[in-house]
Structure 1
Amino acid sequence: MDLVKHTGGCHCGAVRFEVLSSPDLHVFHCNCSICQKKQNHHFIVPKNLFTLLKGSDNLTTYTFNTHVAKHTFCKTCGVQSFYTPRSNPDGYGVAPHCLDPGTVRSVTVETFCGEKWEESMQAHKSIRDMSKNTAESETT
């Protein structure tokens, strides 16, 4: 799988990042309590394919329940452009709508029933592997 370098950030520009991922994004639409309120859509990448370019001092984090998920957002504009998901604490959930235009070829959306998180995680065959860096790929 070829990877491309996507760049993105929050609304005000205080937080900027780059991520290596396929140009064809597999995006999750979750209905857990926080994702429902935020309309959180995200694709998952391994931590080593994500680089925070600027804004670490402008991020704040919200956690609840198990405190595994780290909901990071910009202190200035409030936008969550990425976070550490409970499903993949060894990776990042990146908001595709926070990417700069020009590098996404397609988006496939999969609904994830976060209201029944434990059951959904047990039934899902590949979500935990999405934050594993299983292949060396070229960047374009």
Structure 2
Amino acid sequence: MPTNSHEIPLGHSIPAHRVHGWCSHCPGRSLAEEVAAWQVDALDRTATTASGGDDRDAKNERLRTENERMHHEPEVMYGGAFDSPSTAGQADLRGRVAELEAAVQRAHRLATRLEEFAENALRVDDRELYATIAKDLRERLNATAAPEATP
């Protein structure tokens, strides 16, 4: 049963959804998978035509495609929102958070160093420049530290 075009998410491939029930724009799918699916589909159609065609095989293929489409639709609609996060993904996320926290700490240390330079600079222009840079850096760090506090 072909998929109606109004059921296909905006920006997705209508032909791929009609034939395979998914496309390369669907979550968890790649362009290489879609190309391979089209190649397998073309080979299957060629083999079916060469052998005279078998209604039972065609019906089974349609049922398999429909079943895969029905299974894949919630993933497209909800983007895996109900999937449990993988532990490998959590470890990667924790590592990335640690890297970002370290980068923020380095930025704070840089602001402190700039403030020290401002205190020890001989020229007034240099003092003002270092103080301004440090102030701007601190303001940006504080603004990104609490984004939910802003309305």
Q: TM-score, structure 2 length as denominator?
A: 0.21
Asked which structure has the greater RCO (Cα within 8 Å, sep 6+), the reply is 1
Structure number with higher strand proportion: 1
Structure number with higher helix proportion: 2
Q: TM-score, structure 1 length as denominator?
A: 0.22
